[in-house]
Structure 1
Amino acid sequence: MAWGLFQILMISFFHLIKLSSQQETSFVYETFRSQENLYLDGSATVLPNGLLQLTNASDHQMAHVFYKDSIELSSSKPLSFSTHFVCALVPQPGVEGGHGMAFVVSPSMDFSHAESTRYLGIFNVSKNGSPSSNVLAVELDTIWNPDFEDIDHNHVGIDVNSPLSVGTASASYYSDIKGKNESINLLSGHPIQVWVDYEDNMLNVSMAPREVQKPSRPLLSQHINLSDIYPNRRLFVGFSAATGTAISYQYVLSWSFSTSRGSLQRFDISRLPEVPHPRAEHKNLSPLFIDLLGFLAIMGLCTLTGMYFFKRGKYAEITEEWENEFGAHRFSYKSLYKATKGFHKDGFLGKGGFGEVYRGKLLLSREKAVKRMSHDGDQGLKQFVAEVVSMRCLKHRNLVPLLGYCRRKHEFLLVSDYMTNGSLDEHLFDDQKPVLSWPQRLVIIKGIASALCYLHTGADQVVLHRDIKASNIMLDAEFNGRLGDFGMASFHDHGGISDSTCAVGTIGYMAPEILYMGASTRTDVYAFGVFMVEVTCGRRPVEPQLQLEKQILIEWVPESRPTMEQVILYLNQNLPLPDFSPYTVGISNHSSVLIDAASLVASRSWSAASSATNSP
């Protein structure tokens, strides 16, 4: 037992000897007139007044300054250090400021691998982000570089083995007097104090102007385990800078360092050396050169003025008092112009009596359809206002959702959701479009019937659409029908009487009584009936090129009625269905391929299943 106690005492004794031999490292440079224990390379130099200059007004420079003696960190004690330095970054007059500078902790003073461009004299492309870099840097960065995810052109960052900062903040300091952060311009040319403290795996960075004491709150706090970065625990500390093509003068005025925070030596801020500020060069200019500059200035001003008025006219808009309640839905013409790439032909979707439609994509949104209508006097304005009013008060899954509008001097613009499958009439009459099956047609008809019922009975006011037809039905991605184009719509209160006495609509869809009684919900129903026949037969209500008795679809349908005996035979599939073709009964070839016994059976079975589901 005595021998074991003796061993423990001996081991403890040797540990004490080892710890006592590892002294703390501490030094201070009030000025740099004495270059003792300093290693300088690149453009780094000490000026006669004691300033340590890293870079000057030359491009593609690189500079490093290190304390020559390495810092041996004890393996038995937690790694810690504190440093306080004063620096100044001075821009060259008339030239964009440089890339800034950095305080560096590294296991080596050899940075021959670094590039003199945007890597602060520390990193290069091949070692960018590589753990073999083994560098901790606190950067004072005066260039915004999106490649490194910089937040702005005036920030402080903590870099670990990479120029991509693990912690960053805009340059500022906490004012204990005002109780808030005050910004600091790194490129002001004035002296800036910086403190870097590392203890208990926490790195704190603080900064303040020359006349302000160390703030009570750090600017940056980052948890970092330096033992993982420096397993050998042998370090060098110093400064690094590079210019690339963005140049500035970079100075260190004073520097203090210690491996013990409590032993950090202070220096007299009031005795800092003066920072030189370069002056802009003035050259005597010849009168001819001055006249030429004046002429160019006048021409440039005239050009800018012309461009201003051109753009102002290009994007000019009109606003009236009645639009105030719709202001939230108004788009700027400039945004719509850019969304459609100047209404480029590549985004052209179609043209009709209402105008042209273009596809466009607004910022951070899905594709939209932009309807561009020419100004057509009072009638055009009435149609436009009807569309805008419908945008505010009508919401239904089978209506084309109108999102907003824009007005210009000679045109109106309406913005709606982009319907992937275009208009219904394209699928009925265009041989290049896919043929709609009977179930698809039935779903479309039911959807439009639901929308029309909503307009007549479910909306806040009775809405008469007055222009129901296949070309005003849009198809979404699932081929659901959506009723659009409310340019001819009229509104009246429930229980009231419509004051729409003028006969508007499209020939072939207009009910006979509309000429002497005006529009009503019944005239919308008549147009819907024509629409149903149009979808079923796959031909337009009026076909002037056909024989006289077949030109009007509705007149032809009473004329082509079968006998009830034939009806029963058709329903029982005891008699083949008649041959439908444009040459015999006025049906289009595009849709006749669907009208066969198999399709009829499928449609009837589908309809029967639907009826059974909805029946009591």
Structure 2
Amino acid sequence: MTWGLFQILMISFFHLIELSSQKETRFVYENFRSQDNLYLDGSATVLPSGLLQLTNALHHQMAHVFYKESIGLSSSKPLSFSTHFVCALVPQPGAEGGHGMAFVVSPSMDFSHAESTRYLGIFNVSKNGSPSSHVLAVELDTIWNPDFEDIDHNHVGIDVNSPLSVGIASASYYSDIKGKNESINLLIGNPLQVWVDYEGNMLNVSMAPCEVQKPSRPLLSQHINLSDIFPNRRLFVGFSAATGTAISYQYILSWSFSTSRGSLQRLDISRLPEVPHPRSEHKNLSPLFIVLLGFLAIMGLCTLTGMYIFRRSKYAEVTEAWEEEFGAHRFSYKSLYKATKGFNKDGFLGRGGFGEVYRGNLFSNREIAVKRMSHDGDQGVKQFVAEVVSMRCLKHRNLVPLLGYCRRKHEFLLVSEYMPNGSLDEHLFDYQKPVLSWPQRLVIVKGIASALCYLHTGADQVVLHRDIKASNIMLDADFNGRLGDFGMASFHDHGGFSDSTCAVGTIGYMAPDILHMGASTRTDVYAFGVFMVEVACGRRPVEPQLQLEKRILIEWVCDCWKRGSLLDATDPRLRGKFLSDEVEMVMKLGLLCSNTVPESRPTMEQVVLYLNKNLPLPDFSPYTVGISNHSSVLIDAASLVASRSWSAASSANNSP
């Protein structure tokens, strides 16, 4: 009898534990004067009237409001919840309105990674569509964005891990009286009711004006398994909103939520706080004040006209037909000027062959690098267009991402992602910087090989970089190599040939065949070979100040190999901390790629296989034809560069 009683007590005990884990979450805010259990972030604030204001009249801001306690759904009980809230989206007088807002379900209240404008303060470019986002949102969107397949500028959408809605409909409600859908203008400024119900893997969204009861038919019904989106059932609910260049005021007037549909508390619509509307009319003014105002207006107009002319000249930009064809993102000069604090010397990163590079911060706290290039006639335009067009459609983890561009008067500006560890040549040749270990160098070499293989074979067209060298390799936060500076790039169809016969590049990296046949994938391979030897040896390709036998890096490495002491050429700063077979493989592969006979060079696909040890190196020696004797190559390259400089100077002197 005692044992039976004990069993009953234990069963009851575990049942109570199970019930406590399924505790219902329920709350209601008739207004927000009491902010208990609310987390406010960004521009979100509570007005004295009890209105919860998400955004105001400021550009590029985000707001988040969450109920602080997680709704804590049980793993043994199907997910379900219901919410009812009243909101208002109020445009500024005379404006078309801004970006919308959304009801959000997420395992975290931290959206510091999100972006404003079209991402509604929820998503960003890098995680757009990623299952790791773990976000469900019901958006009230007042901007038409074709990138996200929006149907209009006044719609409701269901978003799962992406602003590309899985369910979407123009804002409307089903009128039970008329038996049809009635459209709703989200930006009318009047309070609107929204219901979101989830039960049995079905998400229903309904909306209606405040004077109308909940419609019998939902606006959206979408089959969604939230268990797939949220493997961790510790979830938070709330709201997100954002503004961009377009703005509007976004308010939440009241809010009710429950994890049990039947126990959702009703909102008292009759007691809603009043929604403020920005005034567009002027108060009556006295005649004296009007006269004074008119005088000041004339004086101010003259001043403003002068300032406008000055500022327009300062920020004037140029637009050309090719921009419409290629459609890369264009930044305003003003935004880049502000991001770099007027191209302040404190943000100066360095000077390259085509201009100066500055560090900047965009309004979204995103760090950028801005390359500022001078207009140099048609050639300058070609180099600028080449870089924009090349990088617009190239996506590879070892390429520097191009974010956009700007053209102003006689300047070109390219905006790319900021690489916090600078360029590779700084770490190889600046003895003030920490020494790159051999594993780091090998990862960089493999990464650039992969990027170059992609340019030659993986992109829509064959892309010739034509200026591969250590100073054009950038290092990200994890010291991964990123190939950048596509100012000399050219491209052609697969199976075709480059129409670029102009020999360009940097002395020491220029293949001999480029002087006679122009650029090709083989000339890129040659430059990459020199680059590999440069990384292993920690020396520049040409150093005139050294002894004659050491001046040309490739020949010196060949001489070391001939003496049976190839490892003597290794960077002394490595202090022997490397795997000998890896260093020898990289040096020999570098010599093979920089063979003066073009047909003897491997393709970049083969180079990647060699580096990953998926293919053994072919048999060759330092005495193999084309491996050594690079002196004549450098002499020809130097002569070509000198003749190009003389021709450019003559053209400039003869130009009107």
Q: What range is the shorter-chain TM-score in?
A: 0.3 to 0.5
Q: Secondary structure at the residue paired with 2:328?
A: helix
Alpha carbons of structure 1 residues 601 and 481: separation in structure 2 relative to 1, 3 Å = farther
**Residue 534 of structure 1, CA deviation:** 1.1
**Residue 544 of structure 1, CA deviation:** 2.8
**Residue 296 of structure 1, CA deviation:** 3.7
* Contact 1:111–1:122 (Cα < 8 Å) also in 2: yes
**Residue 294 of structure 1, CA deviation:** 5.6
Cα distance between partner residues in 2 of 1:326 and 1:115: 25
Alpha carbons of structure 1 residues 237 and 535: separation in structure 2 relative to 1, 3 Å = closer
**Residue 497 of structure 1, CA deviation:** 1.6
Alpha carbons of structure 1 residues 27 and 315: separation in structure 2 relative to 1, 3 Å = closer
* Contact 1:435–1:590 (Cα < 8 Å) also in 2: no
Query: Does 507-516 or 196-205 show the bigger shift?
Result: 196-205
Alpha carbons of structure 1 residues 297 and 427: separation in structure 2 relative to 1, 3 Å = same
* Contact 1:538–1:591 (Cα < 8 Å) also in 2: no
Cα distance between partner residues in 2 of 1:263 and 1:42: 32
Alpha carbons of structure 1 residues 176 and 543: separation in structure 2 relative to 1, 3 Å = same
Q: Secondary structure at the residue paired with 1:99?
A: coil
Match of 2:624 among 558, 577, 584: 584
**What whole-Å deviation, never above 9, does each CA across 1:434-490 have from its counterpart, x for those lacking one?**
110111111111111111111112211111111000000001111111111111011
Query: Does 497-506 or 293-302 show the bigger shift?
Result: 293-302
Query: Does 329-338 or 227-236 show the bigger shift?
Result: 227-236
**Residue 402 of structure 1, CA deviation:** 1.1
* Contact 1:204–1:220 (Cα < 8 Å) also in 2: yes
Cα distance between partner residues in 1 of 2:474 and 2:107: 69
Q: Secondary structure at the residue paired with 2:303?
A: helix
* Contact 1:469–1:527 (Cα < 8 Å) also in 2: yes
Alpha carbons of structure 1 residues 438 and 589: separation in structure 2 relative to 1, 3 Å = farther
CA RMSD between the two structures: 17.7
* Contact 1:128–1:162 (Cα < 8 Å) also in 2: yes
Cα distance between partner residues in 2 of 1:80 and 1:575: 56
**What whole-Å deviation, never above 9, does each CA across 1:505-526 have from its counterpart, x for those lacking one?**
0011101121111111111111
**Residue 545 of structure 1, CA deviation:** 2.7
* Contact 2:358–2:369 (Cα < 8 Å) also in 1: yes
Cα distance between partner residues in 1 of 2:28 and 2:123: 28
Alpha carbons of structure 1 residues 235 and 297: separation in structure 2 relative to 1, 3 Å = same
**Residue 603 of structure 1, CA deviation:** 43
Alpha carbons of structure 1 residues 224 and 293: separation in structure 2 relative to 1, 3 Å = farther
Cα distance between partner residues in 1 of 2:548 and 2:438: 29
Alpha carbons of structure 1 residues 191 and 422: separation in structure 2 relative to 1, 3 Å = closer
**Residue 393 of structure 1, CA deviation:** 2.3
Query: Does 440-449 or 56-65 show the bigger shift?
Result: 56-65
* Contact 2:455–2:462 (Cα < 8 Å) also in 1: yes
* Contact 1:538–1:588 (Cα < 8 Å) also in 2: no
**Residue 315 of structure 1, CA deviation:** 2.2
Cα distance between partner residues in 2 of 1:19 and 1:566: 63
Alpha carbons of structure 1 residues 140 and 383: separation in structure 2 relative to 1, 3 Å = closer
Query: Does 194-203 or 169-178 show the bigger shift?
Result: 194-203
Cα distance between partner residues in 2 of 1:45 and 1:569: 58
Alpha carbons of structure 1 residues 296 and 120: separation in structure 2 relative to 1, 3 Å = same
Cα distance between partner residues in 2 of 1:23 and 1:571: 58
Query: Does 552-561 or 380-389 show the bigger shift?
Result: 552-561
* Contact 1:456–1:521 (Cα < 8 Å) also in 2: yes
Alpha carbons of structure 1 residues 301 and 259: separation in structure 2 relative to 1, 3 Å = same
Cα distance between partner residues in 2 of 1:115 and 1:51: 25
**Residue 356 of structure 1, CA deviation:** 1.6
Residue in structure 1 matched with residue 466 of structure 2 by the alignment? 466
Cα distance between partner residues in 2 of 1:101 and 1:564: 49
Whether 2:651 is the aligned partner of 1:604: answer no
* Contact 1:27–1:256 (Cα < 8 Å) also in 2: yes
Cα distance between partner residues in 1 of 2:606 and 2:163: 86
Cα distance between partner residues in 2 of 1:108 and 1:469: 44
Cα distance between partner residues in 1 of 2:73 and 2:282: 54
* Contact 1:539–1:586 (Cα < 8 Å) also in 2: no
Alpha carbons of structure 1 residues 542 and 233: separation in structure 2 relative to 1, 3 Å = closer
Q: Secondary structure at the residue paired with 2:117?
A: coil
Alpha carbons of structure 1 residues 513 and 338: separation in structure 2 relative to 1, 3 Å = same
List alignment gaps of at least 5 residues for structure 2: 558-597
Cα distance between partner residues in 2 of 1:15 and 1:462: 67
Cα distance between partner residues in 2 of 1:231 and 1:572: 37
**What whole-Å deviation, never above 9, does each CA across 1:173-195 have from its counterpart, x for those lacking one?**
99999999999999999999999
Alpha carbons of structure 1 residues 529 and 608: separation in structure 2 relative to 1, 3 Å = farther
**Residue 68 of structure 1, CA deviation:** 40
Residue in structure 2 matched with residue 431 of structure 1 by the alignment? 431
* Contact 1:140–1:155 (Cα < 8 Å) also in 2: yes
* Contact 1:537–1:591 (Cα < 8 Å) also in 2: no
Alpha carbons of structure 1 residues 179 and 317: separation in structure 2 relative to 1, 3 Å = farther
Query: Does 15-24 or 491-500 show the bigger shift?
Result: 15-24
Q: Secondary structure at the residue paired with 1:329?
A: coil
Aligned residues: 616
Alpha carbons of structure 1 residues 554 and 319: separation in structure 2 relative to 1, 3 Å = same
* Contact 2:428–2:436 (Cα < 8 Å) also in 1: yes
Cα distance between partner residues in 1 of 2:136 and 2:265: 23
* Contact 2:136–2:158 (Cα < 8 Å) also in 1: yes
Cα distance between partner residues in 1 of 2:147 and 2:608: 77
**Residue 590 of structure 1, CA deviation:** 25
* Contact 1:208–1:214 (Cα < 8 Å) also in 2: yes
**What whole-Å deviation, never above 9, does each CA across 1:523-559 have from its counterpart, x for those lacking one?**
1111111111111111211223333443332233399
**Residue 387 of structure 1, CA deviation:** 0.9
Query: Does 281-290 or 402-411 show the bigger shift?
Result: 281-290
* Contact 2:552–2:631 (Cα < 8 Å) also in 1: no
Q: Secondary structure at the residue paired with 2:630?
A: helix
* Contact 2:138–2:159 (Cα < 8 Å) also in 1: yes
**Residue 97 of structure 1, CA deviation:** 24
Q: Secondary structure at the residue paired with 1:589?
A: coil
Alpha carbons of structure 1 residues 572 and 591: separation in structure 2 relative to 1, 3 Å = farther
Alpha carbons of structure 1 residues 603 and 583: separation in structure 2 relative to 1, 3 Å = farther
Cα distance between partner residues in 2 of 1:339 and 1:89: 30
**Residue 364 of structure 1, CA deviation:** 2.8
**What whole-Å deviation, never above 9, does each CA across 1:191-234 have from its counterpart, x for those lacking one?**
99999999999999999999999999999999999999999999
Cα distance between partner residues in 1 of 2:615 and 2:54: 101
Alpha carbons of structure 1 residues 147 and 397: separation in structure 2 relative to 1, 3 Å = closer
* Contact 2:449–2:607 (Cα < 8 Å) also in 1: no
Alpha carbons of structure 1 residues 607 and 215: separation in structure 2 relative to 1, 3 Å = same
**What whole-Å deviation, never above 9, does each CA across 1:102-144 have from its counterpart, x for those lacking one?**
9999999999999999999999999999999999999999999
Alpha carbons of structure 1 residues 251 and 6: separation in structure 2 relative to 1, 3 Å = same
**What whole-Å deviation, never above 9, does each CA across 1:140-185 have from its counterpart, x for those lacking one?**
9999999999999999999999999999999999999999999999
Cα distance between partner residues in 2 of 1:341 and 1:234: 43
Q: Secondary structure at the residue paired with 2:309?
A: helix
Q: Secondary structure at the residue paired with 2:478?
A: coil
Cα distance between partner residues in 2 of 1:566 and 1:138: 50
**What whole-Å deviation, never above 9, does each CA across 1:3-25 have from its counterpart, x for those lacking one?**
99999999999999999999999
* Contact 2:99–2:243 (Cα < 8 Å) also in 1: yes
* Contact 1:464–1:489 (Cα < 8 Å) also in 2: yes
**Residue 346 of structure 1, CA deviation:** 2.7
* Contact 2:453–2:605 (Cα < 8 Å) also in 1: no
Query: Does 174-183 or 339-348 show the bigger shift?
Result: 174-183
Alpha carbons of structure 1 residues 128 and 288: separation in structure 2 relative to 1, 3 Å = farther
Cα distance between partner residues in 1 of 2:227 and 2:601: 94
**Residue 340 of structure 1, CA deviation:** 2.1
Alpha carbons of structure 1 residues 407 and 244: separation in structure 2 relative to 1, 3 Å = closer
Alpha carbons of structure 1 residues 571 and 27: separation in structure 2 relative to 1, 3 Å = closer
Q: Could you say which structure has the larger radius of gyration?
A: 1
**What whole-Å deviation, never above 9, does each CA across 1:387-411 have from its counterpart, x for those lacking one?**
1111222111111111211111111
Q: Secondary structure at the residue paired with 2:194?
A: strand
Q: Secondary structure at the residue paired with 1:8?
A: helix
Query: Does 465-474 or 62-71 show the bigger shift?
Result: 62-71
Alpha carbons of structure 1 residues 311 and 430: separation in structure 2 relative to 1, 3 Å = same
* Contact 2:450–2:608 (Cα < 8 Å) also in 1: no
Q: Secondary structure at the residue paired with 1:241?
A: strand
* Contact 1:59–1:243 (Cα < 8 Å) also in 2: yes
Query: Does 290-299 or 312-321 show the bigger shift?
Result: 290-299
Q: Secondary structure at the residue paired with 1:5?
A: helix
* Contact 1:47–1:53 (Cα < 8 Å) also in 2: yes
